Amino acid sequence: METRSLGNSGIQITPIIMGTWQAGKKMWVGIEDSDTIKAIRAAVDAGITTIDTAEVYGDGHSEQIVADALSDIRDKVVYATKVFANHLKYDQVIEACDRSLKNLKTDYIDLYQIHWPSGTFKTELVPIEETMKALNYLQRQGKIRAIGVSNFNRAQLEEASQYGRIDSLQPPYSLFWRWVEKEAMSYCVDNKISIIAYSPLAQGLLTGKFQPGHKFDPADNRAKNKLFQGENYQRAQEALNQLRPIAERHDCTLAQLALAWLIAQPQANAIAGARNAQQAVDNAKAGDVKLSVDELKEIDAIGRTVTDSIDDNPVMWDWN
């Protein structure tokens, strides 16, 4: 698979990235460690050499599973992980990074990201200057190679950039969830900040495998996803029916079409999770789908039939 520059860091990432939220098991149902390890390894074998995880995914379990899968080829892969919103004081950032290094069985993290802005989920407010001071220190030490932020809006991204180089923004972004395009994308383009989109398949909705009326286990985080509820879900089903003929023209799945559309957007790369090895291989094949300018416009218009009616809250889940 082709690689792209991560911001101005000099690090090369793949446009399709292996996501491992599900590897932590918490907030997911039916996940087995052995299947996840096989999926991660299959992703790398298929050309996806960038892996995204976080300390909060199963309280470090996801990071440990990544290490179990890839420690023997650490020099051939790029690790991206995150520090959570409750660990943003200076000493907490240092301690969290050391825990992640231990979990990942490595002496450096390629991309270290602030997972959510300070104050999110009723966490203590910490000045971004303090958090960035710790991240800059870790970078000088060689423990991290690049700094990123996740779930930041444009104003928060601009403020963080005052205190150090930000090389990536990780927002929720898919054909069915496009809030990042409203403000932050133009800033990322102007400042060469890579967009690393999470939930690029709208948590599986864009695969087309969920039928009208589908209900999730209450323990599954998708039970709270706005896209799976009411009229949003109905509009999504109608949009999927319009996307199917385009996928058929390219002899690809709906998921591959959605991923191909996303990585064709400015600065955009896609984090795609996988429960098993076949899903990981299928995700990698999205990198081979080449869409024309007219097709990109057609897909764009179909996506807007869903997104134009969604509220302005940038959080995809109804957690309140």
Report pLDDT digits (tens) over 13-64. Answer: 999 999 998 888 787 778 889 999 999 999 999 999 999 999 999 999 999 9
**320 confidence band (pLDDT: 50, 70, 90):** low
| Residues forming beta bridges with residue 225, ordered by sequence position | 317
Query: Are the beta carbons of 174 and 202 closer than 8 angstroms?
Result: yes
The pair of three-digit structure tokens given for residue 180, joined into one six-digit string? 């990042």
The pair of three-digit structure tokens given for residue 48, joined into one six-digit string? 């996806």
Long-range Cβ pairs for the range 223-227 (8 Å, 24+) = 224/317, 224/318, 224/319, 225/316, 225/317, 225/318, 226/310, 226/311, 226/316, 226/317, 226/318, 227/176, 227/177, 227/202, 227/203, 227/306, 227/310, 227/316
Mean pLDDT for the stretch of residues 211-228: 85
**223 confidence band (pLDDT: 50, 70, 90):** confident
Count of CA atoms in the C-beta half-sphere (13 A) of 280: 26
pLDDT at 13: 98
Residue written as token pair 């996506």: 303
Kindly state the percentage of the chain with pLDDT values over 90.
Answer: 86
In 85-157, at which residue ranges do the beta strands (DSSP E only) sit?
109-114, 144-150
**312 confidence band (pLDDT: 50, 70, 90):** confident
* Whether the predicted model's global pTM rises above the 0.85 cut: yes
What is the amino acid identity at position 164? G
For the stretch 133-165, pLDDT in tens is: 999 999 999 999 999 999 999 999 999 999 999
**What residues are annotated to the active site?**
57
pLDDT higher for 296 or 215? 296
* Polymer length of the chain: 320
Domain boundaries, the chain: 4-204+255-290
On the question of pLDDT at 319 being above 90, the answer is: no
CATH architecture of 4-204+255-290: Alpha-Beta Barrel (3.20)
The pair of three-digit structure tokens given for residue 176, joined into one six-digit string? 């069915």
